[in-house]
Each structure stands twice: as C-alpha cells, then as structure tokens.
Chains A and B, each alone.
Chain A
Amino acid sequence: MSDPRWVDVYWSDLVGRCRFVRVGSDAAADGVRLPRSLVAAGFAGPSPEPGEVLLLPDWGSARPNPWDQNAQVVLGDLLDPDGQPDASCSRSALRAVLDRAARDGLEIQAAAELEFYLIDPATRRPIYDEINQYSLTKGSELEFLLHDLRERLAVLGIPIEAVNPEYAGGQAEVNIKYTEALAAADRAVLTRHLVREMARSHGLDATFMAKPWTEQAGSGMHVHQSVWRVPGPSAKAGGAGANLFYTAGELSSEGHAYVAGLVRYMRELVLLGSATPNAYHRRADYSFAPTRICWGADNRTLAVRVITGSEGASRVEQRDAAADCNIYLAMAGQFAAGLAGLGAGWSPPDPVTGNAYTRTDLPLLPESFPEAVDLLASSDLAHAALGPVIDALLRVLRPERTVLVTSSTDWERDRYMSVV
C-alpha cells in the first residue's frame, strides 16, 4: 500500500451499524476521540451518556480502500479513558472470547453467510419478484452490482467464495471465505457495509433487515464455525493445526461438546443475533429460519447444522442470527457458548432428524424481543464471557421494547380499524 494520506477507521456500534471516521494518517496512530453519545447510540438516537471514547485503529486489519487510493481502511477498537476496552466496543468483546480460547491453544475459524435484499428505492420493494434460488440466469441480472462487489471486496482483502440469488425475489447471498474468527467478523462487517454502498452507487438500496416483508423470506446470518488446536501457547502462533471437530468424517467428541454449549445457551443469547423486534417475525415454521433449539446432521430445519467431510470442511453452522445483527456480538455469544461446552466436555441432547418444525417436544427459541431482552439480562454466561458490553447493549435495546409496545403498526390498522 503506497503511503495513503487518509485513514478510514471503521467500527460497529452496539446495534450493528457500521460507522467510520476519516483522519489524516499522521493523526490516526493516536486514535480518534469520539463522543460516547455517538458510539453508544441506539436506534432511537444518541445516547445520553457523557464523555468520550478513543477509537484506536487496529493496524493489523489495515487494507486498501477500494473507493479511494488516498485512503486505507482499518477496523478500530473503542477504548475507555483508562485505555481499556470500552463497554461499547463489541469488537473487543469478541476479541476477549477469542483470546481466552487462544490461551488454551485454540483458534476458532469462522465465516458468515450474509443474506440481503436489493431494493428499488422508488418502491421500497425488491428489484424483482420471482424466487429463483441459485439461478445462474437470474444471477446475471445482478452481476452489474455483484461483480463490482466482488472486485471491491477483493481490493479490501475479503475473499468471496461465491454469490447467488437466494430464496426470495431480489434477495442474494454472499459467502465469505473462512478465516480466523476476528478477521471473519471484520470481513462480514465490511462486506455488509460495502453491499449497501455498492447498491447506492447503482441507484438501488440494500437491506439486511431481518424480515422486511411478511410474505417474503427473511435475511439471516448463518455462522459457520470450527475450533482448531494450534501449535504453541497462542492461537496467533499460526502453523498447521488440527480441526477439533473432525474425526474420520464424523463430528468428533469435542465437536459434540461444542454443540452442547451452543444448544444449552442458545435461548439466553438469542438477542445477540436477533437484536430488533422485527427479527422475531423472521422466525417462523417452514421459513428455513429455526424456531426450536435443536441440532443434527445436515438439515436446514435445525438451529445448528453439522456439516462433515474433510478436515478442512468439518464445521457447525448456527442458523438463528438475523443478517442485521451486531456481527461481533452474535459471533462472540456463539463462540463463548460453544467453548463453554467444549471446556466442560458436555454431551448435547440427541440429534434431531427430519422436520424440526413439527417437533413440539423441542424447546422453542424465544418468540419475542422482550423475552429475549430479559433472557440476556439474566444470562450469567453472557455477562461473564462478553463483559460490560452486555449491559451497554441492554441499555440501548431496552428502549426498543418500550417503543414496540407503544407503537401502532400498519398491520394493526389494516386488521382492526374498520372491523372493531
């Protein structure tokens, strides 16, 4: 990279929005002071919290800017006045989970599958109607944008495995290549940002909203994950490792223990992946979004889908998060849960085969935002593993609950106004 004049420092706010600030290269090394009211803002607007936080670039994440040769892109961490990770820093929360794993010689490899809709801004509807999943023909109509997207992501150092039309009109999926988990989260955050920017540059809009339309499929973020034993005391040591989930083409005992953790904590952590009231509309039977807490071999009605094969391909896919979540927090919660199971050597419940939507004996995932808020607030694992970011998140999200119960929606007016 040739000595760019500017640095664009990106971070994710608590509700998952990608933010950035541009500073001169000389000034960036010392970080950027930002008002806490901004970094801790929720959907309702600025936070009333006073003071400042320091946005410090993580130079290990620096990469060329695909829009501007005079700038580079870097992810930043939010620090409090004492130089410690700030409660509003979700990236630091993920790093803390991963660092604990690294101290045990473990590294999590992960990738996010992101679904989104391309929208005509004039109609606020998808740019086409018919469902044509995986259609290479339909995909050609999206190439004016998706090809551009792949090219720019390549400049950003984000390898894309594949793209395809998804299971709804105007919906697409981007598969980001597997890597170490913090980098995987960074890639997903930047990809989501770039999708929106690219759409706007083509006169369109893009949304990752969990369930934009009642009659259309929702948009999820499936997190593929595996745990590797790396040589040396630190997961950063690199070198060839071993996939703990792999044993002769089957899910290993360690993999089972990890899944046990995912399953045990899924209910109380669900808010991390479904952080808006809207996200709970996405979760419906026969929607391909899970409604019940369960796991099993390759099955798209389950919450956790185990994919086996070669050592490099063996992994588990947690399917409950919405595409509009805070990616760092959703991943941090899942990894913390899985690692807890792995550490304790738990056994998961029996795997589920067949149609999980009909299995009324299985526990339900939380069906409402208020329920999910209460569950996270009382989660010992969340507070212990992710730290003060949980309280910061709850401070931001609790007002959503109030707004939810005091708002009248168009659905209610359509259904009740003339008949009651």
Chain B
Amino acid sequence: MGVRTTGLIGPGWLAAAADRGEVHTVRLGWADRLGGWRGKRMPVREFLGRAPLSMGFCDGMIVCDVQCDIIETTPFSNYSTGYPDLHVQFHPDLARPAAWAPGEAFVFGVPRDAAGRVLEVAPAAVLAQVLRRLDELHVRVTVSASLAGAALPRPGTLPGPPGPALPDASSAASVGVALLEGLAASGLPAVSVRGGLDPGSFVLGLGPAAPAELTEALVVAKSAAKEIAGARGLEAVFMTLRPGAAEASLQVLDAIVTGAPVLSPEALQCRFDAVRPLLFPSVTAMKARPPAVHVGKGPGRAQRVLARASSEADPATVVAVLLAAIGSLAEAGLRGWAAAATAASPIRDLRDAAAMADHPWVKQWLGAPFVDNAIPLFEHEAELFQAAVTDWEIARYWSAS
C-alpha cells in the first residue's frame, strides 16, 4: 500500500513533498476518448523547475481505439491531418500524490490545440461545456458513482496446479482495500469498497463530488486498480461481461438534481438508449442489459437519478451524457418545448452508432466534433468484430460443419 503523504494537498504541496523526499516522479496526464489515462512521467524536480508546463502529445491518441489503432475516418486526427501535437498544460498546484505508487504524484490537464483552445473532442471539455449549460439553466447536480471491476489471476502466470480460475479471496479483497486507501490518501473522493457476487469482483464507491472531480477520480481509479492488482500478481479487469460472471461490470451514477422540472424516467431512458455506444463502447459492453434509468426523490426538493453504464466507458463521457440528458429535458421543460421523448429505437449494435446523430439534443449538448469523432470509432470497432472469427464460432461450427 502507498505511503500516506504528510501535509495538505493543494498549492505548494508538490514542492514540499519533493523537498521531503516523498515524491520523485510526476505523472502528467489527461484522459482519452475511452477514459484511458495517458501522459508522460517526469522527474519532479524537472517539472517544478518548468511548471506550469505545457507539453505536446500526438493528438491521434485522444481519438484512437482501445488498442491505440488509428481510425482514418476520424475527422479530428488522421494521416491527412498529420497527427500534430495536442497541448496540455500542467500546473503544480493541482498535483496530488499517487499514494498507491510510492514516490509518484500526478497532475491532470485538459487537452488544447496549438492556439490554446480546449479540444472539443476531449471528454473533459465536453463535460465542462455541459456543466456550463446546466449552470445557465440554474440546474445543479452533484454526482456519486460506483465502479465495478474484478481482480483476477493473470492468464498463465499463476503458479500451482491447474484448477478453477478463482483468485485468492484475500488477494482480491486486498486489491479493493488498497485501491480505496490509495485513492483516499491521494485526496480523491473514494469512500467505500465492497465485494461483488463474483470471485475477485469489487465495487468502489466514490463521491458525492463535483462532476469533473469525480470523473478524474474514476479514470485514476481504473489505472490504480490495475497497478495495485499487477503488484499482487493479479490483473484488474473492467470488461463489462466476463465468462461465468453473474454480474456485469458497470458504473452506476447517482445524481442529485436541483432546479430541474420533474424528470420523466421514460424520457431519460430514451435519451440513454439514443447514445448507447457512448455508454457501452465495446462489442462486449453492448451486450449488457442494465436496469433502466431510475428517477426518484432526492433530499429536499431535489430529484435523484440513477443511471448505469459500462465500466469500460469513459467516466467523463458517461457523466456528460447523463447531465446532457437531464439538461436537455430540463431545458425543454423550463422553456415549455415539447420534449422529444422517444427514440426511434435503442441502438443495439455499434454499427448503428451513426444513429446517435439523428437526435438533435446529442450534438447540441455534447458538441458536433465530439459526436462526429466518436461515431467512426464505434463503427470501426464493429467492423473489426465483423471481420473476426471468434473462439465461439470455432467451438460451435468447426466440427459440426
């Protein structure tokens, strides 16, 4: 387990921690379109000597697929754009300890273009835009979340005789506990962890927190879980459906909404169905059938919205979609517009991701650049799967045909 750092996290913390010898390396990171935590590691003294620091990264890596493949049909970045740099500014006052990784700290930044404009394809920027619009409507939202995953044996790496692929319970549990402690010691809003129904599974509770803070914490949590599990000879997995697992790995968002008209659960569900690939971004995730969106009574005059997405999905995207769905319905209600409550039909296949653009609220709230760059990513994923011969097909048809 990471060492709990001394002193308060905030301005001056990083320099003081470096002086105390607690931090030697800083992770300078940002989140990609799929919630991957990307960036570079820099010696802390180098960072402090140059901070606030702007650093360039190949911009293709914010819109690439889950295997970093280049999607030529992605308009934001492809060979024709030349994959120029995106720029991220990192400020030392935003540094936090990576308490699960002794000696390391991290700083989040927002991707921008060469002129300093926030990239509209960056989920963090989309979320910020949605929050601004909610603010204009005087709708306030705080969000809690849970994130389900599992700590499992690495294939082929566990010693001992062959047997059921069940992780040692204490090891798997220790991953969850270490994750909670590590995130909390990093000043992130992690508040609980529990076991799930399946061996090795865990559910991490986070928040309530401001949406941006919460989504950064979720991105970090997935990385931290993988690192902690790896150090124990295990592998943290967030794949939505696993063979033999009773539960899907989901993110559950619990939003407390004030200032909005009464939200129709059916209308919210329609909005979620309309952008399903954003919430279930892989071939596997699309197979999940989570419970419907739930709207209930919150504290005071607030409403409480429960919504689910795949643990594979980018947290900022998921929260942005939830808030955009709420906001677009609230806007319609507040302005007396007729709410277009029904989607033609839920998107069931990533091949149909382009149907997301059929719903005006999607681009109005999430932005056309974000949506137009997301669609090719999902279509590409579907094409890859379509072209693949799977182990299921081999097992089912090889000898039978």
**Chain A interface (Cβ < 8 Å from any Cβ of B):** 130-137, 139-141, 143, 146-147, 150-151, 154, 159-164, 167, 175, 177, 286, 288, 296-302, 307, 309, 353-358
A140 and B38 form a contact (CB under 8 A): no
Cα(A135)–Cα(B38), bound, Å: 4
Number of A-B pairs, beta carbon distance below 8 Å: 108
User: Any chain A CB within 8 A of the CB of B71?
Assistant: no
User: Any chain A CB within 8 A of the CB of B73?
Assistant: no
Cα(A298)–Cα(B29), bound, Å: 21
User: Any chain A CB within 8 A of the CB of B42?
Assistant: yes
Cα(A29)–Cα(B58), bound, Å: 47
Rounded to whole Å, the gap between the CB of B239 and the closest CB of chain A is 14
- Name which residue of chain B comes closest to A308, CB basis: B114
Cα(A141)–Cα(B85), bound, Å: 25
B27 and A159 form a contact (CB under 8 A): no
B57 and A134 form a contact (CB under 8 A): yes
Task: Point out the residues of chain B lying under 8 angstroms from A136, CB to CB.
Answer: 27, 29, 37-39, 41, 106, 223
- Name which residue of chain B comes closest to A299, CB basis: B82
9 interchain pairs (CB within 8 A)?
A133-B61, A134-B40, A136-B29, A137-B37, A140-B223, A164-B40, A175-B40, A299-B84, A301-B83
Cα(A143)–Cα(B41), bound, Å: 10
User: Contact partner of A161 among B24, B46, B84, B103, CB < 8 A?
Assistant: B46
A160 and B40 form a contact (CB under 8 A): no
Q: Given that A159-B43, A162-B55 are known contacts, is A135 also in contact with B82, CB under 8 Å in the complex?
A: no
Task: Point out the residues of chain B lying under 8 angstroms from A297, CB to CB.
Answer: 84
Cα(A286)–Cα(B72), bound, Å: 11
- Name which residue of chain B comes closest to A160, CB basis: B43
Task: Point out the residues of chain B lying under 8 angstroms from A356, CB to CB.
Answer: 82
Q: Number of contacting residues on B, CB 8 A?
A: 40
Cα(A115)–Cα(B60), bound, Å: 18
Given A297-B84, A299-B84, 16 further pairs, Cβ under 8 A: A133-B61, A134-B57, A134-B58, A137-B226, A140-B227, A147-B24, A150-B41, A151-B24, A162-B28, A162-B41, A163-B41, A175-B40, A286-B79, A298-B84, A307-B56, A354-B82
B84 and A163 form a contact (CB under 8 A): no
User: Contact partner of B40 among A140, A163, A302, CB < 8 A?
Assistant: A163
Cα(A206)–Cα(B80), bound, Å: 33
User: Any chain A CB within 8 A of the CB of B101?
Assistant: yes
Q: Given that A132-B68, A137-B227, A300-B58 are known contacts, is A150 also in contact with B83, CB under 8 Å in the complex?
A: no
B80-128: which have CB < 8 Å to A? 80-85, 101, 103, 106, 114
A interface footprint on B13-54 (CB within 8 Å = 1, 0 otherwise)? 000000000001101110000001111111100100000001
Task: Point out the residues of chain A lying under 8 angstroms from B114, CB to CB.
Answer: 298, 309
Task: Point out the residues of chain B lying under 8 angstroms from A160, CB to CB.
Answer: 42-43, 46
Task: Point out the residues of chain A lying under 8 angstroms from B222, CB to CB.
Answer: 137
- Name which residue of chain B comes closest to A300, CB basis: B83
B41 and A135 form a contact (CB under 8 A): no
B25 and A135 form a contact (CB under 8 A): no
User: Any chain A CB within 8 A of the CB of B196?
Assistant: no
